[in-house]
Amino acid sequence: MIFIQKSVGFVINFIGIFSKRTAGQMAMYLFTTPRAGQINEKQSDFLDTSFREEIKVNNFPVMTYRWLGKGKTIVLVHGWESNSARWQYLIEPLNKLQYNIIALDAPAHGRSGSKRFNAVLYGEFIKVVTKKFKADYIIGHSVGGMASVFSQTNTDYNAITKLILLGTPSEFTDVLSRYYSMMGFTNRTVKGTNQFITDKLNAEPESFSTAKHLEALNLEGLIIHDEKDSIIPYEDALLIKNSLKNSQLVTTTGFGHSLIDDSISNHIYEFLKG
């Protein structure tokens, strides 16, 4: 796998000798195209227990799933190369506690539209879904947590009071740096990619910071991160905790990036009812 990645990186670097922009475009094409995240038969069976509704955001179809309850409304936001079924372990007990639960599939994941994924577009999906279903709380995993934070910036829906971030990255630039290193990109390719991002999103990569966006939000937060997370470093959780003043950090060991365990679920239940 590493050999393949480095080989692809070599080809893109070679193209970058002649066109920095083309190399950057190709690098971002790879970065924003999920290889997984579609729904299998077992996951489909579970998701079919919900009320499904497709809504439109920026002309993209967004699939939502609802498990009705009489209590507060929670929106569940999955991460990269996943889909709403990843929340099954949490949906069933939360529903028994009478929470009203909404889950959505990310861009280019599950049953939602778009051929490409980025956290900014995902944030727009979340923004519309939280407003439509009058959400009270958001739980986001990995880049879904980052997109959840972005969704609460410059929104006219201000009813979200609690935010739970599981294994969430802090700085987009750090995520990019790990990708660049994995692919073996040259400085020229890196510059071309950063410029392509700036042109595409009308902002430099440095501006897409979970920690920075949280500074402007008045929310009660729960941050859960495993100290051995091999995908998103534990240091990201510390940055996020420092930015979200009204928050608590739960550090786990041995649950990796997925953070699926009864002990973690119990932390979530306690925080929500507090």
Per-residue pLDDT of 119-154, as tens digits, reads 999 999 999 999 999 999 999 999 999 999 999 998
- pLDDT tier at 72, thresholds 50, 70, 90: very high
Residue 1: pLDDT above 80?
no
Which residues have a Cβ under 8 Å from the Cβ of 30 and sit 6 or more positions away? 8, 183
- pLDDT tier at 19, thresholds 50, 70, 90: very high
Residue 20: pLDDT above 90?
yes
Strand stretches in the chain, DSSP E? 51-57, 60-67, 73-77, 100-104, 137-141, 162-166, 220-226, 247-252
**pLDDT by residue (tens digit) across 192-238?**
999 999 999 999 999 999 999 999 999 999 999 999 999 999 999 99
Q: What is the mean predicted confidence (pLDDT) over 241-245? A: 96
CA distances from 25 to 127, 172, 190, 196, 198 (A): 27, 17, 11, 6, 12
Please state the pTM of the whole predicted model.
0.96
Assess contact for 105 and 122: CB atoms under 8 A: no
**pLDDT by residue (tens digit) across 73-83?**
999 999 999 99
- pLDDT tier at 5, thresholds 50, 70, 90: confident
Angle at 109 (CA atoms; ends 173, 4), nearest 5 degrees: 60
Question: How many C-alpha atoms does 199 have within 13 Å on its Cβ side?
Answer: 10
Phi, psi values for residue 11, rounded to 5°: -65, -45
**pLDDT by residue (tens digit) across 152-185?**
998 999 999 999 999 999 999 999 999 999 999 9
**Going from the N-terminus, what domains does the chain have, and what CATH number goes with each?**
1-31+172-208 (no CATH), 40-170+209-273 (3.40.50.1820)
Residue 4 is predicted with a pLDDT of 79
Residue 253 is predicted with a pLDDT of 97
